[in-house]
Structure 1
Amino acid sequence: MLWAKVKKMDFLLIGAVGILSIFGLLMVYSASFPIGQMYYDSGNYFFVKQLQWLLIGIAFFTLAALINPALYARWSPALVMLSLILLIAVLIPNIGVERNFSQRWIAIGGFLFQPSEVVKISMVIYFASIYAKKQSYINHFVHGVLPPVIILLLVFLFILSQPDLGAAGIILAACGIIVTCSGVKKRHIFLLGSVAAVGTVYFALSSAYRLNRLTSFRQPFEEFSENGYQLANSLLAINSGGLMGNGIGNSTQKLGYLPEAHTDFIMAITIEELGAAGLLIVLACYMIILFRGIFIAKQLSNSFYQLLAIGITFLIMIQAVINLGAISGMLPITGVTLPFVSYGGSSIIIMMVCAGILVNLSAKRES
């Protein structure tokens, strides 16, 4: 029976995730070599850690792909409770860890863990589960639509307090897509969308620091010594890459010029070294994930499975769009990593769980 399930899985989707993960591992090695050599006396330092996390991620991917997907709905209340506990814990002194003026991490045995990554998948599972159950009264705003939104608002405010506008926005957008696809009335969607937009704009404008971070992407070279520094160096890297790049390992910007070269801005280094060809490989893999995810959702008859497939697909894609938009100057920089590619244990493990769930659902297709 297990083999029958494996045979029905979407191997094109698995291939796209595998290519992105291996590609990311190689680019982490290239982008992090100088900083690893400088601070840890080993150019392999970040590569080895990313490899370890990827192997853990593969184990979680396998588990997520094989268990009964109905269990996700059963676990959703516990996942939400866990998410709230983690979000509270990260704000407690001596438990939460502050870096770059943000308190987004919890230290566990020398490993920095980012709770918002767990919250992303937990909220997608919860929203898919709860709106699937509410199908018989989905048109009733107070009873059918509003209760899960209150939980989302609480989670959103906790993440904003870290502050992490990028993660908060991704969760809000992914859950919003689930609500939209669940059959909620258009006027209810418009009402919720308007409130979310006003709240996000208010938060962005309520602090001069946040406003500067969100607007510096428009003219990064005029603010090169301050808020525009990262983006300006990212654009220099991208511009020098051309069609085929300068060759793997031959990035100049990773030599201390571009901060977070192996994390948020790994794609800028990729384009500098591999050019537009490297970008096209990554974009092709994301397009496969997008179209296969939508295709899988359409072939599922179970409401929960459909909404979960849509939610996970767009969770991955929204994060990819925000990251690529940020490194190219089309969107503000919010510290969002590139799924499956950027360095980071929490990110790669949770993204592999997302991919595993989507692959699991692909085996539930009726045709």
Structure 2
Amino acid sequence: MKTYLKNYSRNFDYPLFFTYLLLCLFGLVMIYSASMVWAVNKLGYSADYFYKKQIINLCIGAVAFAVGAFIPYKIYKENKVLLVMLSFMFISLLSVYFFGFSPGNSGAKSWINLGFANIQPSEFVKIIVILYFSAVFTKKYEKGKIDNINESIIPPIFVLFAAAFMVFLEPDLGGLMIIFFIAISVIAASGIKFKTFGKILGVLGVCMAIALIGIFFIRDSFFTEKRMGRINAFFNPFEDEQFFGYQIVNGYLAIGAGGIKGLGIGQSVQKMGYLPEPQTDFILAIIAEELGTFGVAIVLGGLGFIVIRALLIALRTKDPMARMIAAGIASMIGFQTFINVGGLTGIIPLTGVPLPFISYGGTSIILLSLAMGILINVSMFVKRERNKV
């Protein structure tokens, strides 16, 4: 144990850790700034309600980070651990179907109320898919069966589609896109041949085509007024700026008002009741309004640094599992950031995906902290591996 801790401290990835820490602290400050008016005027809470709740979330996240950072990542390859993870994932997803609710009438029945806290099981799916796919493909890689589609692809693809179908039923379409992107990224980093990878993409494409055909037959129940409103608002939010386009338009106003320098910390106008729940997935709009381009650059620069560093870790290691875990975490954070910023700026339709490390949310920050801990553990292994050469 003493030797392990000594090696750990020597190879600890301090730049990665401090970037994660600074983003969390920056997010905490902006959650307080963005949520104070909403908490008092709309919900009747104290001005620091969401701030205090996020502190608790970060404390739990710190424990999750420590667990991920200090437990060797190869333990996730053990069959018993994989069985526990998959069991937990499907039980929690199934619980959403029976006990889930939609906070704030968001339309997505994707949360479970535990009494003392609300959890979002689709967030667990992201990290479990990374670890499960990395473990399964590592075992196939070691046995020389990585390119045998029947043996290496069918079981994990079945697990992926089973979990994705349950997330789709909620429906959490933003989470669904992230889960598929993660799975494809991990497979791409597995060492699989390009020809085999192309076949996998073909299989996924066929399955998605079948799903789209199924949606066509239930289009009247699937394309609800709210979903169609979001789609129409994506194309032209100003046509319905008092209803479905309301959030997007006010997000634009916040970004435009901030300009280069911003109005100053705490000086946002849009958080005064114009932008609904500004501490969640639209928090970057408040950052842009109060801190301008500089504030946005801090956030996107920090997130970009984590993604690039994770990809470099994946490229530098010879261990297939380390490579896949690092690539999976990079894709999760990178693609989630793209969906959030894309929805805010009108590049893609809104999906309600939080901005990593910045937006208010317990399940999100706890699972992201766990992912960062695991990435730190992988980074330590890669650094020690290179030092031995």
- The TM-score with structure 2 as length reference comes to 0.90
Which 4+ runs in 1 deviate beyond 6 A? Answer: none
- Residue 95 of structure 2: aligned partner: 89
On the 8 A contact 1:247/1:273 being kept in 2, the answer is yes
Is 1:72 paired with 2:79? no
Moved more, 58-67 or 207-216: 207-216
The whole-number CA distance in structure 2 between the counterparts of 1:280 and 1:203 is 42
Match of 1:17 in 2: 20
Deviations 1:213-251 (A, max 9, x none): 234212111121232111111111111110011111111
Change (3 A) 1:157 1:301: same
Residue 180 of structure 1 aligns with which residue? Answer: 188
Distance 2:272 2:208 in 1: 39
- Partner Cα separation in structure 2 for residue 258 and residue 303 of structure 1: 45
Q: Which residue of 2 aligns with 1:113?
A: 119
Shift, 1:104, TM fit: 0.8
Q: Which sits farther off after the overlay, 192-201 or 354-363?
A: 192-201
Deviations 1:166-217 (A, max 9, x none): 1111011101111122215243133034235535655776332334423421
- Write the distance in 1 (CA, Å) between the matches of 2:307 and 2:316: 15
Aligned partner of 1:332: which letter? P
Equivalent residue for 1:44, pick from 29, 48, 54: 48
Deviation by residue 1:122-175 (Cα, 9 ceiling, x = unmatched): 111101111111121222222221221111001111001011001111011101
Aligned length: 365
SS state at 2:97 partner: coil
Partner Cα separation in structure 2 for residue 121 and residue 277 of structure 1: 31
Say if 1:239 and 1:199 are closer, same or farther in 2 by CA, change over 3 A: farther
User: How high is the sequence identity, in percent, across the aligned residues?
Assistant: 36
For the residues of structure 2 that align with 1:203 and 1:334, how far apart are their CA atoms? 21
What is the CA-CA distance between 1:295 and the residue it aligns to? 1.3
Match of 1:137 in 2: 145
Name the stretch that deviates more: 208-217 or 12-21. 208-217
Query: For residues 215 and 3 of structure 1, do their structure 2 counterparts lie closer, same or farther at Cα, with a shift above 3 Å needed?
Result: farther
Q: Distance in 2 between matches of 1:338 and 1:303?
A: 29
What SS does structure 1 have at the residue aligned with 2:381? coil
**Equivalent of residue 168 in structure 2, options 157, 160, 163:** 160
Amino acid at match of 1:192: V
Report the RMSD for the aligned CA atoms in angstroms: 1.6
Residue of structure 1 equivalent to 2:128: 122
Residue in 1 aligned with 2:34?
31
- Residue 40 and residue 285 in structure 1: after superposition, are their counterparts in 2 closer, same or farther (change >3 A)? same
Deviates more, 1:183-192 or 1:131-140: 183-192
Give the partner amino acid of 2:29: L
Q: Deviations over 1:270-289 (max 9, x none)?
A: 10110100010011111210
Select the residue among 5, 8, 11 that pairs with 2:11.
8
TM-score, normalization by structure 1: 0.95
* Secondary structure in structure 2 of the residue aligned to 1:104: coil
Structure 1 residue aligned with 2:156, among 116, 130, 148? 148
Q: Take 2:114 and 2:231, find their aligned partners in 1: how far apart are those partners?
A: 32
What letter corresponds to residue 122 of structure 2 in structure 1? S
Task: State which of 208, 228, 252 in structure 1 corresponds to 2:223.
Answer: 208
Unaligned runs of 5+ in 2: none
Q: Secondary structure at the match of 2:101?
A: strand
Residue number among 183, 186, 202 corresponding to 1:191 in the alignment? 202
Between 1:144-153 and 1:213-222, the stretch displaced more is: 213-222
Q: Which deviates more from structure 2 when the two are superposed, residues 7-16 or residues 43-52?
A: 7-16
State the match for 2:324 in structure 1. 307
Question: Residue 20 and residue 118 in structure 1: after superposition, are their counterparts in 2 closer, same or farther (change >3 A)?
Answer: same
3-state SS in 2 of match to 1:70: helix
Alignment of 1:260-279 (within 5 A): 260-279=277-296
Partners of 1:358 and 1:312 lie apart in 2 by 7
Q: Mind listing any 5+ residue stretches in structure 1 that lack a counterpart?
A: none
Q: Is the 8 A contact 2:38 2:277 kept in 1?
A: no
CA distance in 1 between counterparts of 2:197 and 2:60 reads 42
Q: Is the 8 A contact 1:204 1:211 kept in 2?
A: no
Deviation at 1:256, TM superposition (A): 1.1
- Partner deviation per Cα, 1:14-60 (whole Å, 9 max, x = no partner): 12111110110000000001012222341011000001111110111
- For 1:364 and 1:4, locate their aligned partners in 2 and report how far apart those are by CA, in whole Å: 10
SS of equivalent to 2:111: strand
